[in-house]
Structure 1
Amino acid sequence: MKDKQILILLLICIFTFNAILYPRVSSAQNPLEQPNILIGNDRWMPEFQAGEETSLDIPLENTSSTPARNAKISLVVDDLNKFPFNTDKMSFVTHVYSISRGSSMASFKVSIPPNVKPGLYPITVNVDYLTAGSASNHVSSTIYVKIVNPLKQPVLKCTEIKYEGEKLPAGQITPVNFKLINDGDLPLKEIELLLSGFTENGLSLDKGSNAQFIPKMAANETRLASFNIYVDQSTKSGSYTLDLAMKYKDAYDQEYTKESKVFIPVAGKDSLEGITPRIIIEAYDYGGGHVLAGEVFPLTLTFYNTSQESVVRNIKVSLNSDTQVFSPVGNSNTIYLSDLDAQGRINKTIMLKPKEKAESQTYNISAEIDFQDSKGNKYTEKELISIPVNQTVRLFVPEISIPAEVGLQKPVTLPIDYYNAGRAIIHNLVIHTEGNFEIRDGEQFIGNLDVGKNDYCDITVIPQEEGALAGKVIFEYEDDIGTPYRVVKSINLHVVNLEDAPPFDLLDQMPEQEGFDRKKGIIPGIITLVMLTVGLFVYRKRKLAKKEVDFENE
């Protein structure tokens, strides 16, 4: 009996020793894998609209089998004025108890103020967590969000200067009204105006402050700010410059400053402008905010005779552009006017065409104006106007190659090629995929695509029902000045249930040969034939698309 008790005690000691020893050995030989956290991905880019309240959902992926514990996810805000989001919390921080293997999401409740400028915003995301051994670890990555804003941002403009007569007379005090307009869709407040540039022997203020305050202005509202300006008796005729500084805030306390120069014409005691003629280009119009390279456009010029007494005659206007980027179409580069009355105006239109390969930028056109007064005296004036030219962007996308039949609930990868077939850089290219099927990588941000460059992407779709399924791939991008463009390609799938299809054995259709294992011989041949066919098809498709783009660029 005593020996039996000793044996039982010995067995208990052995099992206890093994339980303590072997886990330590196993742990030493097979250390735990550490968490590996990925933030977002290269193709993921959310889009929000200014003025909305939404959730910023940031994808996280743990590629390790070991969870990351006590994770703190935070957004880095270096400059709150340049950060597109607001939150009702003290900071942009959220906590997750555990990030297990696979994909998860970190969500932030945010609002986008209506005064946020549209564009792409980089945001740094930090993730701090504990590893399997309770050690602290940190990963960081930059994501990009796109903000669209249909609202016109706050802009305070001085659009007109009003006073009695055409010029301020020397030796007199003249009330001068500055017409201000809130050229935006948001109200303004705390508007401060400061007029400077005065001199003792020129223009000065008469008994008043050079600063004015306007409490608020509604969107598109117009106000007048009046200053009494005195012109010294010794001031000579001419145009004098004053500086107008404007400081204001929007409804969200964002502060703006703007400075502009205003020109005040003065009629001095020695003025001879009433009898000395001068022709200027008072205004010009080219039909919009810019002209397109290679396309004909009308240029309308308004000529004005500044003289109050003299009629001018025999007027010849010669137009020349930088590097001869503009060519006349259906007319020459010369305009002739027989006469122009004192204080008279006349409009003339000519047709011009920019070079097809002109770069996207603003070009100058110089006008040399030769004319004579009533006594036959000859004069020459030179004027300068500017016209912005924009290159047309063109994204070429060949038809998407789609199998004749796809299997139900079977992933199908669709390769998509695209080319910059224009003469300007494609900006902010984004590819969206829509359809009544499951989509992977359906939102991809590409960025810029240089002239003549090509690229491709893969989109995976998984049909969840049989029959005909439809979708589309949408390409959205911008040109050099932010004009949006859109290309749409259709996806049409014929989905069948491959599990219901009758079995087909190619090997059964072939005669047997003595001493030959047909299964071992035919399977490698079939695989090789399929790979060669697919490779040849993709090569020919991309080669033909590239030739088509090269042909169109010639």
Structure 2
Amino acid sequence: MALLFSVMTPNLVLANEDRPKEDPKIVIARDHWMPVYNAGETVNLSIPVENMTNTSATNVRVTISPAGDTFPFEMDKMSFTKYAYSLSGRSVFSYKVTIPANTKPGVYPISVNVYYETDYGLTGSESATVYVKIENDYKQPELKLMGVDFEGERIPTGKSVLIKLKIQNDGDLDLKDIELKLNGFSTQGISLDNWPDTQYVKSMKGREIKLVEYRLFLDSKMESGTYPLNLNLKYKDEYDKEYTKDTKVYLPIDSKGEDDLTPRIIIDNYYIPTEYVEAGEAFPLTISFFNTSETTTVKNIKISLNSDGQVFTPVGSSNSFYVNEINPREVIERTIVLRPKVDAENQNHTISADIEFQDTKGNKYSEKEIISIPVNQKIKLTISNIEKPPQVFVGSPTGVSVDFYNTGRTLIRNLLITTEGNFDVQDGTFYVGNLEPGTDNYYDVTIISHETGTLEGKIVFQYEDGIGNTYLLEEPFTLEVMEQEMPPMFDHGMDMNPPVEPSFMAKWKLPIIIAGILLLIGLVTFIVIRRKKKKQEEVFLDE
């Protein structure tokens, strides 16, 4: 055993002597690196990886994988990994990826892992989350019901009729495996006349319109009016992503069998001043009404507007208005001011127009028309005061933090936080993703300044609302950067004899400096502990 030890000891000493002073230090994609790609393209995702030391890393393996629920790339799984014989200095690892045209715009997190070895037997790894931004100019897949075609202006009762549903692919991408299911029938109302309730369309090009036929039978005891049926749509895009949508089919029914002589009032058009209305803010709604009859004047017209859940309420008037008469083939316009509820959801909300009127002989009629108004819920991101030390020293890491809150009523989407300024940033990119209403979070960043004086920087918040509008919020801050005090250096020729008794201030100068440093360390420690405790409380509440 003694001989074995004496043989092995020199080798161990040589190994220690040959080992470099520092191991490889791998940095993946320095802060602010965030490429921007367009959906529908095939691109090279190039990730910079840097070895910050002079010690070479060997047998390097770099892998990428999803860091969240979604991965914006299509690629062969074999190409998720790249290799390099050695890594000294900066290298770029490229991955050929395809971004599907149906990828939602936003910021996506990507997990990057680097594995390596060294010539002296060390194995190591480094990981980081990087972010890529995807922009999409394609109109995304949406199948819409554009209307219903049938003979005449109204559908007579007591007969079998053929209707044609006009559907349009309102997006830029191709659709396939389209399924339409019509339901809501009754034996004493509208029923299918030996016709399947489900129809299929093999495919539709972008913006293409097609007609889908159904044969219906209308019971003779039905009264005149507008009757709804339910239409369920199911379809896939060219990337096999499945979509579903439910809508209504409104059928105008005439129980008198005198369709050619029956007057009708329909909503010919409607418009609002902007693309969408803001929740809680009043807006004017202008509606045009059209008398479809070529011979009959309609009179004594009452129009009442209602919305599901009373999402819209009138401002300065009632929800009804009166029109004396509309001549044959005449169009009139009326404007009403409405206000959406402050907590109205981000979506299209329907308004129904119940129309009652008479012809010249006093016969009474009623119609029901439906329109849709898009409502946008305002988002509100509130930022607290930035927490920072009163002064920092050149070359020393300094922590800066800030709390932020979603004080609005809707989801904040794709929240990304970065720090900018004339300093180095460590761990400066934080992708929050979605921030629910009433929740909060915090952001910590470490900065290093290389100059004295007043340091200026800003924390940048980028986010989106529910309809894709982009917002940018910047919180500036300043720090006073000081030169670090170096300990006194003694010359060998100096007299080392103790000097004359120093003054009172000289005695206490060093203890005061030490106390200040300890106080600063305590303050930083307090902030870190407070934040960790806060995060633990949030996790506890979530559970």
Relative to the length of structure 1, the TM-score reads 0.62
Displacement of 1:354 in angstroms is 2.0
Corresponding residue for residue 512 of structure 1: 504
Partner of 1:10: none
Which residue is 1:84 aligned to?
72
Whether the 8 Å contact between 1:194 and 1:246 is mirrored in structure 2 is yes
In structure 2, runs of 5+ residues without a counterpart are 16-22, 183-190, 490-499, 532-543
- 1:483 correspondence with 2:469: yes
Look at both structures and tell me which one has the larger radius of gyration over its CA atoms.
Answer: 1
Q: Distance in 2 between matches of 1:521 and 1:140?
A: 42
* 1:474 maps onto 2:464 in alignment: no
Trace 1:26-425 onto structure 2 (pairs within 5 A).
46=34, 48-50=36-38, 51=41, 53-57=43-47, 71=61, 73=63, 75=65, 84-87=72-75, 91-95=79-83, 108-119=95-106, 146-153=133-140, 183-184=171-172, 271-398=257-384, 400=386, 406-425=392-411
Question: In structure 2, the residue corresponding to 1:301 is in which secondary structure?
Answer: strand
Contact map agreement 1:74 1:94 (CA 8 A) in 2: no
Which amino acid is 2:504 matched to? E
Report the Cα distance in structure 2 between the residues aligned to 1:531 and 1:127, rounded to whole angstroms. 33
What residue is the counterpart of 2:448 in the other structure? 462
Query: How far is the alpha carbon of 1:108 from its aligned partner?
Result: 2.9
Contact 1:274–1:308 (Cα < 8 Å) also in 2: no
One-letter code aligned to 2:63: I
Q: Give the deviation of 1:475 after TM superposition.
A: 0.4
1:39 Cα deviation after fit:
12
Counterparts of 2:156 and 2:369, CA distance in 1: 26
Aligned match of 2:6? 18
Distance of aligned partners of 1:40 and 1:263 in 2 relative to their CA distance in 1, 3 Å threshold = same
Name the CA distance, whole Å, in 2 between partners of 1:492 and 1:517: 34
Aligned residue type for 1:392: K
Deviation track 1:406-442 (CA, whole Å, cap 9, x = no partner) reads: 5443333222232223232322211022233221222
1:332-368: CA deviation from partner (whole Å, max 9, x where unpaired): 2221111122343322111111232444455444433
Q: The residue matched to 1:274 in structure 2 has which SS?
A: helix
Which piece of structure 1 moves more, 518-527 or 457-466?
518-527
Matched-pair contact (CA < 8 Å) for 2:397–2:448: yes
| Residue type of the alignment partner of 1:276 | T
Change (3 A) 1:53 1:270: same
Q: Is the 8 A contact 2:192 2:216 kept in 1?
A: no
Partners of 1:381 and 1:164 in 2: CA distance: 18
Output the CA distance in 2 between the equivalents of 1:447 and 1:294.
26
1:317 to partner: Cα distance: 1.9
Q: Are the aligned partners of 2:64 and 2:110 in contact in 1 as well (CA < 8 Å)?
A: no
Distance 2:281 2:396 in 1: 49
Q: Superposition RMSD on alpha carbons, in Å? A: 6.2
Report deviation, 1:178: 6.9
| Matched-pair contact (CA < 8 Å) for 1:71–1:130 | no
In structure 1, distance between residues paired with 2:125 and 2:395: 38
8 Å contact from structure 2 (residues 461, 472) kept in 1:
yes
Task: Please say if residues 193 and 244 of structure 1, whose CA atoms lie closer than 8 Å, have aligned partners that are also in contact.
Answer: no
| Alignment CA distance shift 1:53-1:469 (3 Å) | farther
Q: Distance in 1 between matches of 2:435 and 2:241?
A: 36
User: Is 1:372–1:379's contact at 8 Å kept on the other side of the alignment?
Assistant: yes
Q: Rate the CA distance shift 1:123–1:473 in 2: closer, same or farther, 3 A.
A: closer
Cα shift readout 1:130-163 (whole Å, capped 9, x = no counterpart): 999x9x9999999875533233346676757889
Distance 2:354 2:151 in 1: 32
Give the stretch that moved more between structures: 479-488 or 223-232. 223-232
Match of 2:426 in 1: 440
User: 3-state DSSP class of the match of 2:260?
Assistant: coil
In the aligned structure 1, how far is the partner of 2:95 from the partner of 2:309?
Answer: 54
The letter of the residue matching 2:316 is G
CA distance in 1, matches of 2:488, 2:330: 90
Amino acid paired to 2:82: T
Residues in 2 aligned to 1:270 and 1:358: alpha-carbon distance in whole angstroms: 41
Q: Per-residue deviation at 1:271?
A: 3.4
The answer as to whether partners of 1:404 and 1:494 remain within 8 angstroms in 2 is yes
Distance of aligned partners of 1:336 and 1:149 in 2 relative to their CA distance in 1, 3 Å threshold: same
Secondary structure at the counterpart of residue 305 of structure 2:
strand
Check conservation: 2:312, 2:338, Cα contact below 8 A: yes
| Equivalent position of 2:539 in the other structure | none
- Percent of paired sites with the same residue: 36
Note closer, same or farther for the CA distance 1:473–1:345 as it changes in structure 2 (3 Å cut).
same
Tell me which amino acid in the other structure corresponds to 1:417. Answer: D
Indicate if the aligned counterparts of 1:423 and 1:451 stay in contact, CA closer than 8 A.
yes
CA distance in 1 between partners of 2:350 and 2:251 (Å): 26
Give the Cα separation in 2 of the matches to 1:14 and 1:194: 84
Q: Which moved more, 1:488-497 or 1:119-128?
A: 119-128
Q: How far apart in 1 are the matches of 2:60 and 2:79?
A: 18
Please give the alpha-carbon distance, in whole angstroms, between the structure 1 residues aligned to 2:521 and 2:127. Answer: 41
Measure the CA separation in 2 of the matches of 1:404 and 1:522. Answer: 17
- Deviation string for 1:250-292 (max 9, x for gaps)? 6xx7788899999898999983123333434444334445322
| Partners of 1:525 and 1:177 in 2: CA distance | 81
Judge conservation of contact 1:471–1:492 (CA < 8 Å) in 2: yes
Distance 2:525 2:109 in 1: 39
- Given the superposition, is the C-alpha separation of residues 420 and 180 from structure 1 closer, same or farther in structure 2, using an over 3 Å criterion? closer
SS where residue 91 of structure 1 aligns?
helix
Judge conservation of contact 2:34–2:130 (CA < 8 Å) in 1.
Answer: no
Closer, same or farther: CA 319–420 of 1 in aligned 2, 3 Å: same
Match of 2:412 in 1: 426
Counterpart CA distance in 1 for 2:255 and 2:356 is 28
Q: Aligned in 2, Cα 1:272/1:502: closer, same or farther, shift over 3 Å?
A: farther
Contact 1:158 1:181 in 2 (8 A): no
